[in-house]
Amino acid sequence: MIQNMTVLRRGLMAFLLCLILAPAAGARDIYVRLSQAGRFSIASDGNLTLSGKGKTVKLGKTASLSVKGGRMTVGKTSLSLPVRITSKGLLRFNGRKYRGAFMVTQKAGLMNVLDVEEYLRGVLPAEVGSDWPPEALRAQAIISRTYALRQSLSRAKKGYDVVDSVSDQVYRGAGVETARTNQAVSSTAFLIVAYGKELAFTPFHSDSGGYTANNAHVWGAKIPYLTGVAEPVAYTSPNSTWSAKISRRAVEKAVAKAAGGKNIAPITEVRVSEVDKGGRAVNMTFVGKKGTRTLRASQFRLAVGAKLLKSTMLKPSASAASKRAAAPRPQVSAASRPVSAPARGNSGSLTLAEAKQLSEMMSGGTFTTLEIIDILSHPEKKRHYYDLGLQRTGRKPSVAPEKKKIPSRPVSPVKPKPSAPETPDIRGFRVARSGDNFLFYGRGWGHGVGLSQWGARTLAKSGWTAERILTYYYPGTTVRRYQ
């Protein structure tokens, strides 16, 4: 009996010791692929340590690395892959700072390995404005965490969990962190979106254009909580309406690419042949002298260029595209609307001093990656983003505005009411033409599936909590801690 008690006591002590030494519940490293190049340079605020199979090399604060044939070469030293790179200070690569460690493998290249909670600190400021309402930031933190963890379950064969670009979600490392976005991460620690006992698939996009998309129409899979919902509150964003002039040749190349190389050129007509319940294009038909092709609208968008054809919420004319955007929105406070450009002639025109200031804000993390792409793609919007940047950073303009702005009187938020979507044209429409170009008009930006970031921003300003926002955009899901 005494021997049994001794064994039991020892077992209990071992169990308690394991609990003490175990990482915090829910702790999980994320492997973020940064580069697949065979050569790259890294640096750190402290000395670097490289650890390979049974070999450790200590270096200074910078190192040029070469990867080939399963080995890494640093100067005259060679190590077998995988190699882990650590430092007491922040690591640096390609002009950005990173927490955690670097890992180099033959299969995945250079990766940043760090705890998922630290990873999120470098995601939020790149995906949404750090000045956005706290509940919108919290919602983004929860879906970004969910997305990363879900991806990690399906990418073991690739050797990494996520990439640092819009192919997954934008990640810029430690250099862009802000107090407000860090607070959103810490206040939602370990919270995820779940559907039953599973991690939910939580895609998101910039602006739905009024109605989110059905996942089945974009990526093929039927997912109960991704069938499309109407935006509860109307809003404006930098891409509420847009137009794109695409040459006939570019359309033909895109159709051939999406159709597996089958060419029907010259194309004479483009039609939106099917729309969903929210009025979003599902299928598009292309008529050419060598035949007719019907493609999924999302498939054509990617083939012709997602930065050019910003969404599949297509409309027959500019007036139809702007119909919702022009409607009054008394339920949204004036402070939540994008800053209007001052009347100074060309809305995109900036003085040299203002252009320099805008460039500094672009490189300093003031804008998200999608917003930077929008600035570079549409110079006429520079004035809008310049004023928006001043608002976010609190900086003073390089040139005093001509007219003194009258402070907006805050409007008390009212209970949001679902806004009825524009009645879908089930017969579709022909895309307009101008000479040898097709003229596309539309609303919103992105694939349209899941949460709309600008929609979430507006709901947060209307008093919605992060949990309410998420269960609206992903109906049937719940928000809970992951284990």
Q: What is the pLDDT of residues 383-395, one digit of tens each?
A: 778 877 787 777 7
Residue 180 domain-assigned? yes
Q: What are the phi and psi torsion angles at 155 (to 5°)?
A: -120, 20
Write out the residue range of the structural domain in which residue 377 sits.
334-393
d(CA 466, CA 137): 8
> Mean pLDDT across the stretch 324-344?
34
Domain count for the chain: 3
Residue 136 domain-assigned? yes
Element at 413 (helix H, strand E): none
Percentages of the chain per state (helix, strand, coil), in multiples of 5 = 30, 25, 45
* Domain identity same for 76 and 163: yes
* Domain identity same for 167 and 96: yes
Question: How much is the pLDDT for 336?
Answer: 29
Tens of pLDDT, residues 128-141: 999 999 999 999 99
d(CA 440, CA 438): 6
* Domain identity same for 353 and 321: no
* Domain identity same for 148 and 288: no
Look up residue 426 and give its amino acid: I
Q: What is the average pLDDT score of the chain?
A: 84
Residue 110 domain-assigned? yes
* Domain identity same for 132 and 161: yes
d(CA 206, CA 444): 7
Helices (H), 84-238: 116-121, 124-127, 134-154, 179-187, 215-218
Tens of pLDDT, residues 222-262: 999 999 999 999 999 999 999 999 999 999 999 999 988 88
> Mean pLDDT across the stretch 114-126?
97
Percent above pLDDT 90 for the chain: 67
Residue 207 domain-assigned? no
Tens of pLDDT, residues 174-233: 999 999 999 999 999 999 999 999 999 999 999 999 999 999 999 999 999 999 999 999
In this prediction the pTM is: 0.76
> Mean pLDDT across the stretch 351-364?
77
* Domain identity same for 50 and 126: yes
* Domain identity same for 275 and 320: yes
* Domain identity same for 150 and 102: yes
Residue 236 domain-assigned? no
Q: Could you tell me if 232 and 418 are in contact, meaning their C-beta atoms sit under 8 angstroms apart? A: yes
Instruction: Band the pLDDT of 363: cuts 50, 70, 90.
Output: low
Residue 364 domain-assigned? yes
Residue 274 domain-assigned? yes
Tens of pLDDT, residues 393-443: 777 776 544 444 444 444 444 445 555 444 444 457 999 999 999 999 999
* Domain identity same for 319 and 351: no
Q: Which of 146-160, 282-296, 315-329 has the highest mean pLDDT?
A: 282-296
Kindly state the greatest CA–CA separation across the chain.
96
* Domain identity same for 268 and 386: no
| Cross-strand bridge partners of residue 247 | 437
Q: Is it the case that residue 168 has pLDDT exceeding 80?
A: yes
d(CA 360, CA 355): 9
* Domain identity same for 161 and 284: no
Residue 7 domain-assigned? no
> Mean pLDDT across the stretch 66-83?
92
Look up residue 394 and give its amino acid: G
> Mean pLDDT across the stretch 28-52?
94
Collapse the DSSP code of 287 into the 3-class scheme (helix H, G, I; strand E, B; otherwise coil) and give the result. Answer: strand
Question: How much is the pLDDT for 448?
Answer: 98
Question: How much is the pLDDT for 482?
Answer: 85
Question: How much is the pLDDT for 377?
Answer: 64
* Domain identity same for 125 and 48: yes
Q: What are the phi and psi torsion angles at 397 (to 5°)?
A: -65, 150
> Mean pLDDT across the stretch 288-314?
96
Question: How much is the pLDDT for 381?
Answer: 75
Reading the block at residue 391, the tokens are 């608002």
